[in-house]
Amino acid sequence: MATAPLVGAPAAPAEAAEPLRLVGWRRPVLRASSIGLFLLAWHVATQWDLDLYVRFQNIPSPGDVLAEAIALFGSAGFYVHILASLERIWLGFAIATVLGVGLGLVIGWFAAAEDILFPPIELLRPIPAVAWVPISIMLWPTERSSIVFITTLGAFFPIVLNTIHGVEGIDRQLVRAATSLGAGRTAIFREVVLPGALPSIVTGLSVGMGVSWICLISAEMISGQFGVGYFTWVAYGIVKYSQIVVGMLTIGVLGMLSSLVIRLVGTRCMPWLPRRDKGGA
């Protein structure tokens, strides 16, 4: 973003360029200091066992957490939890993608399908996926399948809704253009509907990925035997407080990386869209 000089006699171009150049190194430094300050505050609060209505006596310090993280990532046991969570996420997300995109395309394109399939979706959508946990345990034979179900459920609704939205937003003139170039029904679906809805589908996938992490961790905390959510909850139970924070941070990083993958795949699939990062200099 271009920031104009704040104080300002009408500046010559050379003078105007000066504050802009400063911003170049000032911003990363500012941002790093901001994180540094946060860590310092955390350190001070835990070191002095502050009790300001919120109590820091039992909260691990940044140093404790770092030491714990090094120990955990040096042992095989922690990876079992990470792999369990990743497997559930990708499985649930993949099922949700197939179902959500498939149903969304059909519902969006065929008015009759909308009347038949959409009402139950609308009815179930307001129920948070976590509220499904008890029913899910009863429905599914294994703990793994019931957690995957919750994860799928979380991702499904944003994906299906965004896909419907994307299909319904397709410019009818493009459909006309395609028919006047000789396209039949299948070709229109493949060449116009699918790519036309793709930007919206990718938005749905991105939102769905975020929601499915929330659902996964909640489900693991309630009814898991493995997984980072389970690990974090158990750490609380067995009074290993620094492990809680390592668990939290791991969840954050994994969630962020998953979203990154979706975004990268999305941009790769849609080369016609203007790149955001090329925007303002």
Partner 1 sequence: MVNGAGTGRIEITDLGIVFGRDDRRVEAVRRFTLMTTPGEFVALLGPSGCGKTTVLNAVAGFVQPTVGRVMVDGEPVVEPGADRGMVFQQHSLFPWKTVLANVEFGLKMRGIGSIERTAQARRYLNLVGLAGFERAYPGELSGGMQQRVGIARVLVNRPRVMLMDEPFGALDAQTRLTMQELLLGVWREVRTTVLFVTHDIDEAIFLADRVAVMTARPGQIRDLMPVKLPRPRPAEVIATAEFMSLKARVLAQVREESGRAWIEPRP
Q: Which residues contact partner 1 by CB under 8 A?
A: 171, 173-174, 176-184, 187, 191-192, 195-196, 198, 270-272, 274
Provide the minimum distance between the beta carbon of 277 and partner 1 in the complex, in angstroms, as a whole number. Answer: 17
Residues 2/20, Cβ–Cβ less than 8 Å: yes
Provide the minimum distance between the beta carbon of 166 and partner 1 in the complex, in angstroms, as a whole number. Answer: 12
Judged by beta carbon, residue 51 or residue 171, the one nearer partner 1 is 171
Positive/negative CA dihedral, 61, 62, 67, 73: positive
Provide the minimum distance between the beta carbon of 10 and partner 1 in the complex, in angstroms, as a whole number. Answer: 33
Provide the minimum distance between the beta carbon of 172 and partner 1 in the complex, in angstroms, as a whole number. Answer: 10
Provide the minimum distance between the beta carbon of 196 and partner 1 in the complex, in angstroms, as a whole number. Answer: 7
Q: How many CB atoms lie within 10 A of CB 167?
A: 22
Distance CA 175, CA 173 (A): 5
Provide the minimum distance between the beta carbon of 266 and partner 1 in the complex, in angstroms, as a whole number. Answer: 13
Nearest in space to 247 (alpha carbons), one of 74, 69, 83, 76 = 69
Judged by beta carbon, residue 163 or residue 258, the one nearer partner 1 is 163
Judged by beta carbon, residue 108 or residue 196, the one nearer partner 1 is 196
Judged by beta carbon, residue 21 or residue 278, the one nearer partner 1 is 278
Judged by beta carbon, residue 87 or residue 191, the one nearer partner 1 is 191
- Report in angstroms the alpha-carbon separations of 160 from 9, 131, 136, 217: 55, 20, 21, 22
Nearest in space to 60 (alpha carbons), one of 71, 157, 114 = 71
Convert 181-211 to b/e letters by CB count within 10 Å (16 or more is b).
eebeeeebeeebbbebbbbbbbbbbbbbbbb
Judged by beta carbon, residue 10 or residue 184, the one nearer partner 1 is 184
Judged by beta carbon, residue 142 or residue 180, the one nearer partner 1 is 180
The encoded tokens of residue 210 equal 């975020």
Angle between helices 241-269 and 62-73 (to 10 degrees): 70
Provide the minimum distance between the beta carbon of 187 and partner 1 in the complex, in angstroms, as a whole number. Answer: 6
